[in-house]
Structure 1
Amino acid sequence: MVLAAAAKAFFGAVLVTMMVFAWQQFDDLNEQQELSAAWENTQDYAVFYPHSVGNDRAEIEAGGHSIAITEARDLYPILDEAGGIFMESVNYEPWVPTGPQAPLPVYPVRVNTNYLEQYPIMDESGAPVHVDRDEQTWVVAVPEQYRSLEAELTAFFQASRTGGPDFEGAVQGQERMLREPVPEQFREQEVRIIWTASDQEVFSFNTTINPDNGHTILDPIVEIMTPANSMTVDRLNSFNGDLNAPMKVRVDGDSAAVLAELAPTLRELNLDDNLRHLVTTHEAILGEVDEIRSGIAWLGAFIGAALLIVLLLEASLVSIVSDRLHRRLTVRRLHGTGFVRTYRELLILLAATFVGQALLAAVMVGILSSGSSEMPDVEPAPAFPFPLFASVLGALLVVEVLLVAVTAGILERRNAVKRLKEL
């Protein structure tokens, strides 16, 4: 009996844990389906997703940057010339700590000139911001409400470009990573601020940012990158293998054809083993939807098996206890004792088993939840989904109570005549 109770508690805990995560998967599925609909109109742009290790495992494990350098130095200019959009908005992802350091009033985003052509940003006069591709100064579009910070912002972005006392700028970062001197023009690069109109929603091109309001950012500072004013280090994160990678390749609705066109270039750059898949955001989300559905199907199968085991063990416990206490139970029923008082020993055992089951399930869910929240580049999950856990536990309790009542009633009727003869 003790072994059966322990087994029931264990499988019950496993069942609760799987049901909690299945419920979360259904929530994720609904969110992804809504997300896919929102991104259906961006199929002219695609990302290399995922980013494969390919033949470079040793180089990656050694902490090398040769792949990222090749992508940023050699591949990016080709895709930029072909109309690709660069939008780096990672600082606005929901799990990034809020509040930039002074003197920045808000986090900056970084775009290229192709972005401005497709998603115009208005200057303070109401005209679209335009920056020539041969612009050599570092251009920063700043909302007009921050005009009082002009001197501080200019100094900050100047230092971010050319460096300063105890401060590594893009120039120093480029020389450190590429181990070669930068052109002189970048050592003396100036910063130019363009004041933009207030209350502008800037499209983030990021599925995690402000999904309830079109994935936009209100009044960010925008750094504008051109072929002439940027270095390799400025676009080093262009192809990070994430769904929201900054570089969006222009595909005009046919990502497979564009990937085929790029194949010779990728082979020449030795990137064909890394950048193997070019998908639109919509396609990538649909792929994730399929993965979630597959996961739910597997979870459903395991949940069904676990539920069957739990119910069989529960019924076995009722049968074992009823058999051991049959004389006492029969006397109580003959004297008109109610169900709860008649089966109080059984109910105490099952209650203790359920409490143990709940505690074990709580530990399992807590461990798995905390583990998932530590995954890189994934939005942290709540430490413990208590409302969901309580709902699942409550539903299972109702099922178990009904099973106990039905099983006890069947056993009582079936054995009534036999127990009377024994008395």
Structure 2
Amino acid sequence: MDVSVFGTGYVGLVQAVALADVGHNVVCVDIDGQKVAQLQRAIAPIHEPGLTTLIEDNLKAGRLSFTTQAQDAVNHGELMFIAVGTPSNEDGSADLDHVIAVARDIARLMHSDKTLVIKSTVPVGTADLVLETVIEQLTDLGKSELKVHVVSNPEFLKEGSAVADCMRPDRIIVGCAHDKPRQQLSELYAPFNHNRDRLMFMDNRSAELVKYAANAMLATRISFMNEMANLAERLDVDISAVRKGIGADPRIGYHFIYPGAGFGGSCFPKDLKALIHTAESHGLEPHMLKTVRDVNEQQRHVLFRKLKAHLGDDLRGKVIAIWGLAFKPNTDDMREATSRYLMEALWDAGATVHAYDPEAMTECRRLYGYRPDLQLCATRDDTLQCADALVICTEWKAFRVVDFNQLRERLKARLIVDGRNLYNPQQAADAGLHYLSIGLPYRLPGALYA
């Protein structure tokens, strides 16, 4: 099938590459000329495992192309994917300006019937709004004889495994009201639907809510476990044992019940805000959603609180080594990352940061520029130079194995604050380190705890 994708961010680019890789002909359009030029040379603007190779392969095969010309994309595709950003407004609602702008452009440029597929995360009722917008535009331009269908097709990609998620989806949600788009989407996704039927058809409004409900549920599990971890610390309980015990219940399972320093990224925080706004705008007080949000807001500062509890309130002149800047492994995305909250608090307190991340160093420099209290280091061990303490913010595999004796010798305060529970507390204590993690007992036998 001939497909056009508007927007080459995480969602649009990964979806476009996946569709091209199974044989569809895909044209991607973006207003960022520099990004398009890079993509035309198979240079991915984001770090995502496997993405660069697939871009290169499908460019060479002629199934994938990139352009800044919307007219080329509209002329090419029978299916028009809308995969542009929907950032948060000040009131928490989703900003639909980019989505509506793309819909208007498609209507203005189309000369044959089209099916618009909304891949962006949008509030309930957006498909109806897009359809009204397109019909109004076509009528104004004297093209009312053209037929348009609008489909809601939310994405469920996890950054760091987005390509794999797209190639092997656990479900494909399609909201539509007519047979033609149902047939089109069935044909489009047939290569991903061989082993079992992953396609779930429903109305547009239900499909739109599925996306928000899914992210809200996952965020709820994370905040719940973080609250249990904070309680476990007060009770001298090992949260890892609790996690194993409750996860063994098949009604609960082990997914998204790892305690940590709060969730971040481009999805959970934004989508939670949008869902809260939607509920409130319809006269409903979303008590649970607000609690999930509030618990996460508090958890983002847990690492800084632990540092202060051990080092004291006066952090002026202290040097803190940070391992991990991205909000999760296998990405360079620092949106709403724990590291950002920690670094900014440290700078406000007069401390200096030595930081390392396998992929997010360039993004960190873009965000914060050159400043005397931030040193981006070439290796994880370089961050330990003159450091008082080490903080783990992201659970990269490169951080999983350490020499505790070396850390004891290099860290002035002999302090590790582990926001991802990577290490064995007893081993760290046996090496003479103060080891503070999330939800693990403060007073292990023989341990050096604050």
TM bracket (short chain): under 0.3
Structure with higher helix content: 1
